[in-house]
């Protein structure tokens, strides 16, 4: 995983220098191993969700984080394939993705520690994202809110198994 490199996503628009330098790590070819069981792969993907969220909001947060992570690191999505009847099924994440639960303070602490590690891909979902019904409104609210005031509903972390495990410890699965 030491070979991850950063590159801004073209759809993200104009980025400031700090954001561009820390934006999206890329995976080395040797990290993409859909031929291995998920527990043997060097790469690990987890989503950590605020355990106090109602089921619908927690599911929405996990889906939104998964979509953002899959867009940023398309290498985690395997190829699609046909079933025995010939119907095609789009690719799914070959990495697997555990959905873990944590209290709000732990979600924030993991986010802060993950943000300091350039070799990890981090996507964080502020509560503002679910509070707005218009995406441009979300972006405006986000731009007007200092980071310490943001409440995070969830995080997506992709990186070397040992580094991700060190951050999430033994968090339980979301139930």
What's residue 25's pLDDT? 59
What's residue 1's pLDDT? 41
93 assigned to some structural domain: yes
CA dist 57 → 28, 54, 159 (Å):
34, 6, 25
Sign of the C-alpha dihedral, residues 98, 89, 91, 54? negative
Structural domain span for residue 149: 5-168
The number of distinct structural domains making up the chain is 1
Name the pTM for this structure. Answer: 0.82
175 assigned to some structural domain: no
Residue 143 phi/psi, 5-degree rounding, is: -65, -25
Q: Give CA–CA dist 164/6, Å, rounded.
A: 18
What's residue 7's pLDDT? 38
174 assigned to some structural domain: no
Q: Give CA–CA dist 67/5, Å, rounded.
A: 21
173 assigned to some structural domain: no
Q: What is the dihedral of CA 61, 67, 72, 75, to 10 degrees?
A: 130
| CATH number of the domain where residue 64 is located | 3.40.1490.10
What's residue 149's pLDDT? 96
| pLDDT per residue of the chain (175 residues) written in tens, 0 to 9 | 433 333 344 344 433 333 333 444 567 777 777 777 778 788 899 999 999 999 999 999 999 999 999 999 998 999 999 999 999 999 999 888 999 999 999 999 999 999 999 899 999 999 999 999 999 999 999 999 999 999 999 999 999 999 999 999 999 999 9
What's residue 15's pLDDT? 35
26 assigned to some structural domain: yes
């Amino acid at each position: 995983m030491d070979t991850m490199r950063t590159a801004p996503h073209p759809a993200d628009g104009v980025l400031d220098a700090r954001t561009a330098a820390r934006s999206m790590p890329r995976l080395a070819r040797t990290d993409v191993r859909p031929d291995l069981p998920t527990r043997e792969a060097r790469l690990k993907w987890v989503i950590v969700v605020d355990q106090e969220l109602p089921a619908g909001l927690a599911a929405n947060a996990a889906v939104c984080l998964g979509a953002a992570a899959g867009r940023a690191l398309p290498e985690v999505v395997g190829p699609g394939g046909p079933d025995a009847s010939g119907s095609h099924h789009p690719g799914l994440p070959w990495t697997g993705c555990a959905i873990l639960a944590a209290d709000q303070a732990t979600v924030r602490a993991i986010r802060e520690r993950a943000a300091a590690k350039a070799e990890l891909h981090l996507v964080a979902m502020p509560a503002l994202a679910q509070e707005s019904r218009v995406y441009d409104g979300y972006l405006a609210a986000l731009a007007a809110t200092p980071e310490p005031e943001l409440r995070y509903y969830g995080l997506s972390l992709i990186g070397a198994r040992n580094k991700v495990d060190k951050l999430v410890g033994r968090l339980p699965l979301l139930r």
